[in-house]
Structure 1
Amino acid sequence: MDKLLYRNRKNRSTHSLVIWNSTTFKRMASSTTKSDHLVITSQQQRDNAIYSAQVTDISDLSPTVKSMLLRVNTTTSYEAGQWLDLMIPGLSKVGGFTMCTSPLQFDKTKILQLAVKFSEHPPTYWIHTQSKVGSEVSIRFGGDFVYNPKPDDPPQDVLLLGGGVGINPLYCIMNYISDLNKLKTPKQLNDGTQINTLLLYSSSSTAELLFKKEMEELEKNNENIKCRYFVTREKSTQEDIKEHRINKNDLEDAFKFIKKDMCVVYVCGPIPMIETMEKLLEDLGIKKNQIRVDRWW
């Protein structure tokens, strides 16, 4: 991989807003409960800077999930798979939401997408019921669940296992891999080091399989990206959607496309799903240091 593609997080701008500052942020973290985003993610890396952002679009992705587009006032970026702290004027709670947009696309447009499932948690409730185009918020980037291979790393295939709205960081990683493909020359794409990427994505119903059309486009445009879909609470009317939870047979089949001994696995979804996937992967011989898990959400 060209060294210019490697994303270095060390050089960040440090301007912050009057609405939110480090003192306010630390005070809020110390007063939250254990179920709050700030506490759950307190040991993960965070940028120092807080940025202003404006809502540019709100739409429905599914009966329970809203898409929000934010234009962010920054010259810096984030890594594929990371989340942001969302700070809303007038709310004491800080939200935590994963970016869906590829970092390379964000570098060009400074617009990122969030996909937020409805709940009564104040930041989430605000997004679903009060946010509108033009609303002003503040954000900061963070998170350790990242895909950012270094230039000298040996090529590793990527297996993505997602459940429900846990698709967000995995979709971001897929978009990033697709963007990296676009930067490669035909020779690089055919030199035997191509990284295969496979997504296994499970949700309760077809309507809740977020970004399915977009991911089908990624498949069409990238020979090294494949997707497989599962629903758990309805009968599927589509041939490409299986009617069961992701199981051992599905994982065994995945390793016909993904090199088992040269891969990294990213898992994001409900806690029971994560625990099941970890056990099945280890039973299939995947080492613990090959598995990346996003548990916090």
Structure 2
Amino acid sequence: MAHTTISAAFAIPQLLRGTARIFSTHSALFRLKYSALCYCTMNGTMKSKRKTDHLERTANNFRQEVISPAKVCGITNESETVKRLRLAVTNKDFTFKAGQWVDFFIPEVAVVGGFSICSSPGLLEQEGVLELAVKHTVHPPAHWIHTQCSLDSEVALRVGGNFFFDPQPADSPVNLVLIAGGVGINPLFSILLHVADFHRNQESEENGYKMGTVKLYYSAKNTNELLFKNNIFGLMNEFPGKITCSFHVTQPSSQICEELQPYITEGRISEKELEKHVSKDTLWYICGPPPMIESISKLLENFGVPTDCIYFEKWW
């Protein structure tokens, strides 16, 4: 596990050359040209209002060598602006750790997407599928998902990222505090589902990893933007005291329904809430807008939390 850092662009050409070689072996499925891919990434995106391209931001991040074809086998509306994709992965060597993302390759779309996985590694192991939750933007990969993607659409995926939770059986138990802002919930929801798998396995495995407790703090503008609410409630009911959650809304657009009221706090996540979780056995995972990450990381350091116990996504 490590911090994700913003990277320079010098590694991009080599990264794209590797991608071009992969695509040349699957020409029936993908007809991407290296020259177009390189041009759109290094020129078109750099001139847009977006800060940097996904491949630029993550050029120095860990990436698996495996690029696997995948087929869309499910599409649901997670919210008015977020679609949840279910993807069947065909390569048996394709694996990921809870919290990581994928390079998302689309036929005829030159720009490579980068989306955090929101499902658990266990789902991939058991059913050969993974899930992504993608917010609608004008960025070509996200726009394609919201306007052209359909059941049986074919794409390709490559796993990357230094932000993950992957304890081994012999590791000491830890507690987790997960702090999500907006669609930053995606990798943290993957970690939450992975934790649930550990708790289930503890009942049947004597030598498995002994998971501690998890507290999720999840902040969004309004309740409609709180993704995976029902799934999170299900986990809280399945593992009372082991998995807990506090939802925060900063710009509520309507009266909060009675069902959600016990779990909703209006306003941002407070210092007092976080301070009570500080201990030597706690790891902190943060994903959200960069200003949120920076302010919470600084706050935790002021509380005396060692920097090697604080993990965050810095690029999305």
TM-score, normalisation: structure 2: 0.82
Q: Aligned partners of 2:290 and 2:134: how far apart in 1? A: 18
Deviation at residue 24 of structure 1 after TM alignment: 4.0
Residue in structure 2 matched with residue 133 of structure 1 by the alignment:
151
Mark the CA change 1:219 to 1:93 in structure 2 (over 3 Å): closer, same or farther: same
After superposition, where does 1:13-162 map in structure 2 within 5 Å? 17-19=25-27, 24=34, 28=38, 33=46, 35-76=52-93, 77-162=95-180
Over residues 79-111 of structure 1, what are the superposed CA-to-partner deviations in whole Å (9 max), with x where a residue is unaligned? 100000000000110000011110011111111
Q: Higher mean Cα deviation, 220-229 or 262-271?
A: 220-229
Residue in structure 1 matched with residue 7 of structure 2 by the alignment:
none
Q: Higher mean Cα deviation, 232-241 or 211-220?
A: 232-241
Q: Aligned partners of 1:212 and 1:228: how far apart in 2? A: 11
- Residues 100, 114 of structure 1: 8 Å contact kept: yes
Residue in structure 1 matched with residue 268 of structure 2 by the alignment:
245
Gap runs ≥5 in structure 1: 1-14
After superposition, where does 1:171-210 map in structure 2 within 5 Å? 171-185=189-203, 194-210=211-227
Deviation at residue 23 of structure 1 after TM alignment: 9.5
Deviation at residue 230 of structure 1 after TM alignment: 0.3
Q: Aligned partners of 2:36 and 2:237: how far apart in 1? A: 46
Q: Aligned partners of 2:171 and 2:36: how far apart in 1? A: 36
Mark the CA change 1:194 to 1:50 in structure 2 (over 3 Å): closer, same or farther: closer
Gap runs ≥5 in structure 2: 1-21
Work out which of the residue numbers 292, 297, 303 in structure 2 matches 1:273: 292
Deviation at residue 172 of structure 1 after TM alignment: 0.2
Residue aligned with 1:260, SS: coil
Residue aligned with 1:201, SS: strand
Over residues 101-129 of structure 1, what are the superposed CA-to-partner deviations in whole Å (9 max), with x where a residue is unaligned? 10011111111111011100000000011
Residue in structure 1 matched with residue 249 of structure 2 by the alignment:
231
Question: Is 1:263 aligned with 2:282?
Answer: yes
Work out which of the residue numbers 186, 211, 215 in structure 2 matches 1:168: 186
Residue in structure 1 matched with residue 8 of structure 2 by the alignment:
none
Deviation at residue 186 of structure 1 after TM alignment: 6.6
Q: Aligned partners of 2:213 and 2:137: how far apart in 1? A: 35
Deviation at residue 181 of structure 1 after TM alignment: 1.5
The one-letter code matched in structure 1 to 2:195 is I
Residue aligned with 2:111, SS: coil
Aligned residues: 279
Q: Aligned partners of 1:27 and 1:156: how far apart in 2? A: 43
Residue aligned with 2:108, SS: coil
- Residues 236, 243 of structure 1: 8 Å contact kept: no
Identity %: 37
Residue in structure 2 matched with residue 4 of structure 1 by the alignment:
none
The one-letter code matched in structure 2 to 1:296 is W
Residue in structure 2 matched with residue 292 of structure 1 by the alignment:
311
- Residues 56, 71 of structure 1: 8 Å contact kept: yes
Q: Higher mean Cα deviation, 206-215 or 30-39?
A: 30-39
Deviation at residue 149 of structure 1 after TM alignment: 1.1
Residue in structure 2 matched with residue 216 of structure 1 by the alignment:
233
Deviation at residue 141 of structure 1 after TM alignment: 0.7
Deviation at residue 154 of structure 1 after TM alignment: 1.6
Deviation at residue 188 of structure 1 after TM alignment: 5.4
Q: Aligned partners of 2:35 and 2:286: how far apart in 1? A: 29
Q: Aligned partners of 2:31 and 2:206: how far apart in 1? A: 45
Q: Aligned partners of 1:158 and 1:104: how far apart in 2? A: 19
Deviation at residue 239 of structure 1 after TM alignment: 2.6
Deviation at residue 151 of structure 1 after TM alignment: 2.8
The one-letter code matched in structure 2 to 1:94 is V
Deviation at residue 185 of structure 1 after TM alignment: 2.9
TM-score, normalisation: structure 1: 0.87
Residue aligned with 1:155, SS: coil
Q: Aligned partners of 1:26 and 1:229: how far apart in 2? A: 43
